[in-house]
């Protein structure tokens, strides 16, 4: 039944894209390899997961191959969106929303994928020896979310969360109070007021799961963009060129205003910036990236971009480095193999790790 349902979904997607929904085929240039001549460029887009638009471009031998790969991506994003949804419950699963409601009362048995994700986040926090990215910070982040949404809806009365309320919420963000039982696949909060928040990592982690699916498919030449979380597969199958991935200009008026371009293949690229989610109070911009130390939005950078092999790690690190001071973040990335970073400072000064230059258009890199 599951195979039949998947085949039906592939057929529906083929019909949808052939009808013109976000789908295109590009000609194969002259002078390319025989393998490249057997592939065509396809693209499709969907929304409705992680509050973002997901776009897949790939080189496949036929529409069916592309549709199957695309169906897998859609399925992965839908599944993880439901598991990581902090605001809605779904029949038949325990997700983040139900976990925050129940885990402070008694252990909650969860889907293995949700358990593994929480374990992965806690392992990363231990690995980097810091709580700059703290998934147990939900109580504080929920306060900021509520005030930000209210401020966006009614700019004339936009306000900051009172510090006393933030400090009260911060009393319930000790990640050690998240108790995991791997044998039972359960999650328990030793502090009943603790709340989890996956916003700093969930989209990148999901994008990597989708990229792994594509890498194992019959369409390994692809680029996947989930609202700025980008996974690039093998080089473009028609020309052998690298994929161009734009770094948005923090002061740009639209997402098409680029600060620089990264050329890469078989890499993930993620940017955290103060221009992505923010609101304005008394003429000052307040972004969504909150320091666990000050309980206020971090202000040292306009944007931080990470290039590495894993999108989940990129997402984690881009948040970490945006909140940490430059010296701490630089030392961390310099000690990590196959990981590069770029910082945009408030005055638009740029700093980047030594290895980042080979990816940047501004440093002379090309898509060849």
Model pLDDT for residues 59-102, shown as the tens digit of each residue: 999 999 999 999 999 999 999 999 999 999 999 999 999 999 99
Residues 140, 289: Cα–Cα separation, whole Å: 11
Residues 356, 308: Cα–Cα separation, whole Å: 10
- In whole numbers, what is the pLDDT of the chain averaged over residues? 89
The phi, psi pair for 117, rounded to 5°, reads: -65, -45
pLDDT digits (tens, 9 = 90+) for 267-318: 999 999 988 789 999 999 999 999 999 999 999 999 999 999 999 999 999 9
Question: Which residues on adjacent β-strands are paired with residue 269?
Answer: 230, 307
Concatenating the DSSP letter of every residue in 155-169 gives GGG--PPPHHHHHHH
Range list for CATH 1.10.3980 in the chain: 96-189
Range list for CATH 3.10.520.10 in the chain: 242-368
Q: What pTM value is reported for the model?
A: 0.89
- Give, in degrees to the nearest 5, the angle at Cα 292 between 115 and 289: 85
Which range has the worst mean pLDDT, 9-18, 82-91, 232-241, 276-285? Answer: 9-18
The domain 96-189 is classified under which CATH number: 1.10.3980, 2.60.120, 1.10.8, 1.10.10? 1.10.3980
* Sheet of strand 178-181: strand arrangement: 108-109, 186-189, 178-181
CATH class of 242-368: alpha beta
Concatenating the DSSP letter of every residue in 61-114 gives SSHHHHHHHHHHHHHHHHHHHHHH-SS---TT---HHHHHHHTTTS-EE--HHH
Average pLDDT of the residues in 171-179: 96
């Amino acid at each position: 039944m599951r195979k039949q349902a998947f085949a039906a979904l592939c057929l529906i997607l083929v019909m949808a894209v052939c009808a013109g929904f976000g789908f295109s085929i590009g000609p194969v240039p002259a002078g390319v390899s025989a393998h490249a001549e057997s592939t065509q460029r396809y693209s499709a887009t969907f929304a409705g997961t992680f509050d973002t638009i997901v776009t897949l471009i790939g080189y496949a031998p036929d529409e069916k191959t592309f549709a199957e790969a695309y169906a897998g991506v859609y399925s992965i994003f839908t599944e993880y969106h439901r598991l990581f949804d902090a605001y809605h419950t779904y029949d038949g699963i325990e997700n983040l929303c139900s976990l925050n409601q129940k885990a402070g009362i008694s252990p909650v048995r969860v889907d293995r994928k949700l358990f593994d994700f929480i374990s992965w986040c806690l392992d990363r926090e231990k690995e980097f020896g810091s709580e700059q990215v703290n998934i147990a910070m939900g109580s504080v982040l929920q306060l900021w979310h509520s005030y930000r949404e209210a401020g966006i809806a009614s700019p004339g009365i936009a306000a900051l969360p009172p510090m006393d309320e933030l400090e009260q919420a911060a009393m319930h963000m000790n990640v050690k109070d998240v108790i995991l039982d791997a044998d039972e696949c359960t999650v328990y909060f030793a502090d009943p007021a603790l709340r989890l928040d996956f916003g700093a990592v969930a989209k990148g982690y999901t994008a990597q799961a989708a990229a792994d699916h594509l890498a194992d498919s019959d369409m390994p030449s692809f680029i996947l963009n989930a609202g700025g979380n980008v996974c690039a597969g093998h080089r473009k199958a028609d020309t052998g060129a690298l994929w161009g991935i734009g770094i948005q200009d923090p002061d740009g008026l639209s997402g098409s205003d680029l600060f620089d371009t990264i050329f890469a293949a078989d890499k993930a690229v993620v940017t955290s910036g103060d221009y992505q989610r923010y609101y304005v109070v008394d003429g000052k911009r307040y972004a969504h990236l909150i320091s666990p130390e000050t309980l206020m939005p971090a202000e040292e950078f306009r944007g931080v971009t990470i290039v590495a092999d894993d999108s989940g790690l990129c997402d984690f690190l881009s948040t970490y480095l945006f909140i940490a001071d430059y010296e701490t973040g630089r030392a961390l990335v310099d000690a990590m193999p196959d990981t590069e970073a770029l910082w945009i400072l408030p005055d638009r000064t740029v700093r980047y790790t030594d290895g980042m230059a080979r990816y940047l258009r501004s440093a002379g890199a090309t898509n060849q």
